[in-house]
Amino acid sequence: MTKIKYILVSHAIIARKKGVPITYTIIHLIHLYGAFIYGGFLFTDNLFMSKMAQSLAPEEAQKAREAIMKHVRKVVPPALIVTVLTGIYLFTHVFGEIGPDGMTRFQILLSIKAFLGLWLGIRGFNQVYLKIDPFLFKSHRFPFVLVIIIIALSQLMHV
Ligand code: HEM
């Protein structure tokens, strides 16, 4: 069997073993796109946009940032909401029963991931739609760190 065929076949077997409906796969995909849009903005903002003031005059940097942020505000907060709602759906399908020996490693890490994701969601919703500013960490660094942790947990929980 060629390597590529082997990879395709083994992945198909894994997907079938998981036994999830196709709706799950579609929602999972939407979750990933939402996480990419939301997380992608936080990476761009923290790694690159925050450095604009190094090359531009303060008012130019402010103008340049606003030119980007007016589009960000239309797309990124809804992407966060989509990520959280799809996450809740995924959670209810994969968390499973808690056995007599307590939670599995997967269940513990998924719970931490879901808690952090919900926190980000509630924090973002309050800030953007209810205009309630978080009492802690006003910058985008805090959500950036949380997203890095959430993405790591989303992979480590399967190990
Ligand atoms: C900003 C918030 C969030 C981000 C950035 C995020 C990101 C991710 C990523 C990158 C994956 C991995 C997908 C893959 O490897 O295929 C994932 C999976 C998952 N997420 Fe989230 N997530 C967030 C919020 C949530 C919330 C709030 C919940 C639940 C309440 C949740 C539940 C899940 C579940 C259950 C999976 C596993 C799906 C599976 O393996 O079948 N997520 N998430």
Cα 113 to averaged position of ligand 1 atoms, centre (Å): 7
Q: What angle do CA 118, 142, 105 make, to 5 degrees?
A: 50
**Ligand 1 binding site (Cβ under 6 Å of any ligand atom):** 28, 31-32, 35, 38-39, 80, 83-84, 87-88, 90-91, 94, 110, 114, 117-118, 120-121, 147, 150-151, 154
Looking at ligand 1, which atom is closest to the CA of residue 24?
41
CA count, 13 A, side-chain hemisphere, 31: 19
| Burial zone of 14 (CB within 10 Å; 0-12 exposed, 13-18 middle, 19+ buried) | exposed
- Say which residue, 8 or 129, is predicted with more confidence: 129
Q: Kindly report whether the global pTM for this prediction surpasses the value 0.95.
A: no
pLDDT, mean over the chain: 90
Distance 143 CA to ligand 1 centre (A): 15
Q: pLDDT by residue (tens digit) across 132-142?
A: 876 655 678 99
Which numbered atom of ligand 1 lies nearest the CA of 91? 35
Angstrom distance (rounded) from CA 63 to CA 57: 10
**CA 60 to centroid of ligand 1, rounded, Å:** 37
Residue 58 CA to ligand 1 centre (angstroms):
38
Q: What is the pLDDT of residues 33-66, one digit of tens each?
A: 999 999 999 999 999 999 999 999 999 999 999 9
Nearest CA to ligand 1 atom 10: 151
Cα 85 from Cα 136, distance rounded (Å): 24
